[in-house]
Structures are given as structure tokens and as C-alpha cells.
Copies of this chain bind each other. A is one copy, B any other.
């Protein structure tokens, strides 16, 4: 399989590229910059901006499957400039899909957001069929892209799969993008600083280890069947306070917390129902939370990031 990974230099991208190379795939890696260039040695790196159709077209040419992991914003930043969020993510994805139409792309696998697309859920854990009422522009953009993917399949038979990711964590997640609670907390804890927490710590999320996420992307590239959208998470809810407690337990000392006011972009609970991925994508999550956290801490200690 000849793959293109868009957003290859980031956390999920770096891990996915390594996973695909390990599977013997030809991997073209596209992004603005590489967080860890040495980790992408088996890949063909192309520097480029997602909103620039020329470099994008060059990258796409000759590939079978495109993994679209690019996100120009975060849930918090997207609300601050909704037009910019829409332009950078949705308009750019539409231009990307037009290029896919013109080339021989067999499938697009898109990283959507299980944590923002449902909004404040009525049902926990939340299945793919739940209503989608995002409370961030970030979630609306993800939803719109899912709808355009469905439209492109309907109009032009461009095949696709969507993974609605919970909160991935693990090695190669840095604190630079202001996203990723586990990385931020571990980083602060290791440096002896108090972790910064928005709200009272009761906000519950679904944390899924990155190796399991990579498995899901690879399975989505090969999946046969009529389902298009899959939740990918642990199916278990953990509060921010739980995360701090787990880090303290593994480090063997109490991590201090500096509390700040809660944020409007945070839904109180997000836990995904992943039955469909398990039954239809044949996805088998392997890494328990504590093991994943231990590996994350070990990596962060060794990398010194």
C-alpha cells in the first residue's frame, strides 16, 4: 500500500508513519514541520502547507490511501476565530478532496473528533449514532468535513473512513500545541512544577493510547463493509483528578495542582462507545491506561522534552 500521511510531523502522524513503515508500506509524510525528524527516517518527507494545493497535489500523486490528520486549530483557538477555523480546515479539505477526485486515490481516512463532535452527550458512553451538537467551531468543522466526505463518495465514489478519536496520548506528544492533557500534566510533573488545571478537575474524558489509535487507522485503511464512521477510544471515563492521581502513583510523589477557572469549550463528560470499531473494524485495543501512562512517562523522561 502506498500511503500519504497529512500532518505527518505531529503526534498522531509521527506514530502512524512509524506504524505504517513497520507494516512494510511505502509512506509519504506531508506536513509543515517534523517534531522528531529522526523518527521518520523510513518515510519520504514532503514539507508543505495543507492550504497550498500545489505542494499537496505533488504529495498525493501516486498514492492509494491518504490519512488526513491535519488540524490547523484547537478546540479553544477555533472559537476565537471561527472564520479562520472554517477556512483553514474545511475549505482546505474541500480543495484537497478536489485533488483526490482528479487522482487515483482509493481511500481517504480522516481523523475526526469524538470529544467535540457530539457536544454535551445525552448518552454515555456515546455511540456513533448519537446527535451531533458541537459546542466548539472545531467540532463543527470536523462535522462538516465528515459530511463532505460522504458527499464525495455519493457524487464521485471517493471511498473514505472516519475515525472519531477520543483523547489520544503517548510518546511523541509534546506540549507545544496546547493540546493533550496527559502530555501537559506529565511534563509539568516531571519538571517539578504544579500541573495547570481548568475547573475543579471533575471534567471526564476518554484517554486512548496512541498505539491503539495507530492500529485503528491501519484497520480503517483496509476495512471492507458499509460502515464509514467509527469511534476510537478506551470506552472508559477518567477525570482530570484521576489523571493527576495516576501520575502521582506512578511517579511515587504527590503532583501539585494549580487550579484555573473552567472553560466554556469543555463538555463535562466525553466517553465513547467503541463497540462498532471492535465488532466491525476488528479493532482490539491492547494497552491499558496505566501501562500507556507508564510508557508515556518513560518516553518523556528519556526524551527530555
Contacts and interface: CB of A to CB of B under 8 A. Distances in A.
A130 B264 CA distance: 28
Contacts of A83: 91, 94-95
A276 interface: no
A94 to B, nearest CB: 5
A87 B129 CA distance: 29
Contacts of A133: 147, 150
A219 to B, nearest CB: 24
B86 A90 contact: yes
A169 to B, nearest CB: 27
B134 A140 contact: no
Contacts of A243: none
Contacts of A36: none
Contacts of A155: 79, 135, 264
Contacts of A144: 140, 143-144
A154 interface: yes
Interface in A125-160: 129, 131-137, 140, 143-144, 147-148, 150-151, 154-155
A238 to B, nearest CB: 25
Contact of A94 (B82, B132, B134): B82
Interface string A232-269: 00000000000000000000000000000000100000
B136 A147 contact: no
Total identical chains: 2
Interface in A148-180: 148, 150-151, 154-155
A275 B81 CA distance: 37
A127 to B, nearest CB: 12
A286 to B, nearest CB: 32
A154 B133 CA distance: 11
B143 A137 contact: no
A100 to B, nearest CB: 13
B143 A147 contact: yes
Given A135-B155, A137-B148, 14 more contacts: A79-B151, A82-B151, A86-B86, A86-B94, A87-B91, A129-B131, A132-B147, A135-B151, A135-B154, A136-B151, A137-B151, A140-B144, A143-B143, A143-B147
16 contacts: A82-B94, A82-B151, A83-B94, A86-B86, A86-B91, A129-B131, A132-B147, A133-B150, A134-B147, A135-B155, A136-B151, A140-B144, A140-B147, A143-B143, A143-B147, A154-B264
The 9 A-B residue pairs with the shortest CB-CB distance in the complex, in nearest-first order: A140-B147, A144-B144, A83-B94, A135-B154, A82-B94, A83-B91, A133-B150, A134-B147, A86-B91
